[in-house]
Amino acid sequence: MNARAAGRCKPAVEHRDATRLSDRDRDSFIAMLDDLDARPNAALTKAVESYRKHLGR
């Protein structure tokens, strides 16, 4: 793909990947990110271990 075509595709890809949140959902998401006491759940911990194994770390 040439640079000109890639430049035309970028806005479409960015729009497709955007997730619109309600004010309530946005506030909830931000609160979760700001929670310093939060710990990863078992599924996230397993995913990280799998990813590291895949990378050979």
pLDDT confidence tier of residue 48, bands split at 50, 70 and 90: very high
Residue count of the chain? 57
CA torsion sign, 16 to 22 to 27 to 29? negative
What is the distance of C-alpha 34 from the center of its chain?
16
Range of 39's domain? 3-55
pLDDT confidence tier of residue 1, bands split at 50, 70 and 90: low
Predicted local confidence at residue 10, as pLDDT: 75
Predicted local confidence at residue 20, as pLDDT: 86
Taking the C-alpha atoms of residue 54 and residue 46, their distance in angstroms, rounded to an integer, is 12
Q: What is the pLDDT of residues 8-45, one digit of tens each?
A: 777 777 767 778 899 999 999 999 999 999 999 999 99
Taking the C-alpha atoms of residue 2 and residue 45, their distance in angstroms, rounded to an integer, is 40
Q: Quote the number of domains for the chain.
A: 1
